[in-house]
Chains A and B, each alone.
Chain A
Amino acid sequence: MATEEKEMKVTRGCNFLVDEASLDDVFIPEEFDEEQQMVGQLARDFYDGSVAPVNDEIEALADGVTVNLLKEAGELGLLSVDLPERFGGFAQTKAVSMLVAESLCKNASFNTAFSCHTGIGSLPIVYFGTEEQKQKFLPGLATGEIIGAYALTEAGSGSDALAARTTAVLNDEGTEYVLNGEKLFITNGNFADLFIVFAKVDGEQFTAFIIEKNNEGLSLGAEEKKMGIKGSSTTSVILQDAKVPVENVLGEIGNGARIAFNILNVGRFKLAAAVTGGGIAAMKETVEYAKGRQQFGRPIAEFGMVQHKIAESLSRLYAARSAIYRTAGYIDQNIATIDVTDPERDSKVIDSAIREYMVECSILKVFCSEALDYTVDEVVQIYGGYGYTQEYGAERYYRDSRINRIFEGTNEINRIVVGGEVMKRAAKNSIPLFARAKALLDELTGFPDLGDDDDTSFLANERKLVNQARKIVYLAAGTMGQTLGMKLQDVWGHEELLGLLADLIMETYAMDSAVLRTMKLKERGAPDVDTFHSALTRLYCNEAMARMEITARTLLSAIVEGDDLSMALSGLRRTAKYAPANTVALRREIAEYAASHDDWGL
């Protein structure tokens, strides 16, 4: 990392809910140094030069195409960007691995194969493997000689992963486990050489195993016929008396949940980077199309309703990308505090440095996959009838997007993670959410603070909106804590409430991240920050605040009633009050900029 980043201090997970971040502690993608930018350029060049020319073959699942591309990516080092150096990796930051992920995203099928291999297919061994397992498998995973896959889901256990029925029984000699069961929807299934498989030892202890493809008793089901990402292989993995040597147990017996859920944190933020890159690429193509498509004697890119779609997509993608690199920066700062010579380093990275930001990882997964979905929907609309045909990319982007709200933990499960974990950390007082809620109540029962509305400094209004957003979270979380209290320890029965709270928290992180990035760009004297980036930020914050008020109202109305509700709603009205910007004009500005510039700097 560049020297300026070394001075960043470690920021706790969820801290964005309680403190205004200092710009020095927030990483933005414009801070990559020359070498890191070259890695990003390599990924883009590899995509343009090697992946794009065989797009159709990938989509047709032609034999060997994806495997050969993965091997080529391996030779270039793209499969081992953030693997440890002693196993053939390049030990780059998580931020750099995000940069690579977002550069390979234009073909969602290839990206799925790539992300599966480099993420959930390889990282369990990096973080939980024994020295022998690492030495045996990591060099091959780094070069693509071995392709990895991850087998968790079963027919009866999707979101409820721990209900898996695959069993593992130790043989009498104590040398092998015998596995039986069937794993479903396994990405890279058809060509993977190594599977991380989860099974219950003696039907009880959830445990991870490394199983090689040629393992006796392991067979594959047929390719699934999917809605999208048709060029990514998805099969079932059938285990019939599969004998797995005890040295292939990953982690400890009964420790599978820790592996499964921690690895998903990484999978989630890598997915976020990939889908955001995909959204930007799709919108880029669409804007070019809209500039060329004439109706009523003018390019459709000049029509206000088309401009609305472009600008709205871009403001979400900008907030998404700001939040991704901010989170990557936090994780990297945290990892940097772990001694490189510590023998426990790898497990500390995943168990502590990454887990600390599990809320942020889940936010990114939900927020970015939904930003992509919004974008590709509008992409089809801008292409009109052509968007519904297979002549252009729009139709494929639309189909390919949909899976992102489902895999790596459905967005529903991730919302429960966000809402539930924040309430848990608040209850333990590891974030002072309830204290802030109490302070807010005192403020609301006192005289209104008229504030200094004449603050005309850069983004003063939006910085204020972020503070209001935090207060809406305090109001919602505080009221939930008061009325539901200990009942919230069991999330079931309160899922919608946690989901609504998660939406408030996500909007806050997105707004805050966009504002911080734009402030930092301004501080760095970036070109066009006063026009384009500030317009994106203002648009996002204005719209988010309007959505938050509705969400908070729904939430409060569900947990309190009568006078308490009236009190809470009047508090909400006061907290959410703002002078709206002219978002119609902002959207036009944004769309005009996008139509007249090649490099959007999103």
Chain B
Amino acid sequence: MIFHPLGKYILLLKAVFRRPEKWNIYKKEIFHEMVSIGVGSLGIIAIISVFLGAVTTVQTAFQLVSDLIPKSVIGMILRDSSILELSPTISAVVLAGKVGSSVASQIGTMRVTEQIDALEIMGINSPGYLILPKIIAAVTTIPLLVIISIGLSITGGYFAGTASGALTEQDFITGITTDFNTFTFTVCMVKAVIFAFIITSVSAYQGFYTSGGALEVGQSSTKAVVISCIAILFSDYVIAQLLL
């Protein structure tokens, strides 16, 4: 049951990575998509990151009731959980909803209104022209969004922690600067790139093979988000298992 769509997905990816007809036009599309995916998602990523950091700090402080554990541990936990899990994974799930549904519905609408057929009649490799710029834009901008998310999450945690009195400014700074393992950041970037690829390619696949009308475009969009989220969580586990 899974092999037929998986085979179609791989064949689609093969067509996506075929040599572009004209790099100049693709370049323009890549920059356009970078603005749409990167800049367009900055607001939502900023909001969720600040609150994720704040909530993590407050809840960690609530659970660390023992006097034997220094308060600076809260900062360490926030830093590591933001880098390893919260920022890459939660951002990816949110982006699967925002970017994934947009990609699937955009390509799906082009399919049902024969715009993809028009591209093919002209001799243009439609998977390449429509999907490759989105993938390149996502794998370059989503890691940047994740870095911003880490920064904002730690900032949110700082304000929530100090404002609530859970820990002092000094404890927090000691926490986030002690025993930092740079490999966690590498794992975070690996996750961000893989999640970005999953979001765009899975959503584009759903959109590209849409058939019917407006109802089916909506269904493709929903399927794109659901499948992307499952694939993100599954690959999150695989990456953690392999790299840590």
Do A and B originate from a single complex?
A: no
Could you tell me which B residues sit within 8 Å of A by CB distance?
none
